[in-house]
Every structure is written in C-alpha cells, then in structure tokens.
Amino acid sequence: MGTSGSDGIKLTEKQQLWLEHWHQCQATLGTIKAYAEHHGLSLAFMYWWRRALIDRGLLAGKPR
C-alpha cells in the first residue's frame, strides 16, 4: 500500500523511496552523482525519478 505525502497525495512505495532519496540527496553537500554512487543507485534513475516527482508536484521544479 502507498503512503500519503505531506500534501495528502497518495504515494506508491517506489515514489516514497525515491522522494526520500531526493530529500536526502538535496540535504548533502556532494553532487548528485556522488550520492547515487554512494547509495548504489543509477544516476539515470535519479534524474528520471526527479522529473517524475516534479511532474507530480512532490519536488520543487517546473513540471512538464
């Protein structure tokens, strides 16, 4: 089952996981690439999920 974000939007487990990664990534001083490598994540997936989360209104940025 999904969880609700702070704005009440229902999130899938994957959306919640990637949202948490992006919040943690933004809180670090390093690069996105360094964060992805440290956590064993694909840099391409990091960027794909950033776009998906922005489009859904879960991360700051300009939606498509």
Could you tell me the residue ranges of all domains in the chain? 12-55
Return the structure tokens found at 49: 């999920």
In this prediction, residues 39-63 reach a mean pLDDT of 93
Q: How confident is the model at residue 6 (pLDDT cuts 50, 70, 90)?
A: low
State the pLDDT at residue 64. 80
How far apart CA 42 and CA 27 sit, in angstroms, is 19
* Location of structure tokens 């939606």: 63
| Whole-number average pLDDT of the chain | 88
Question: Is the whole model's pTM more than 0.85, yes or no?
Answer: no
How far apart CA 63 and CA 45 sit, in angstroms, is 18
State the pLDDT at residue 2. 47
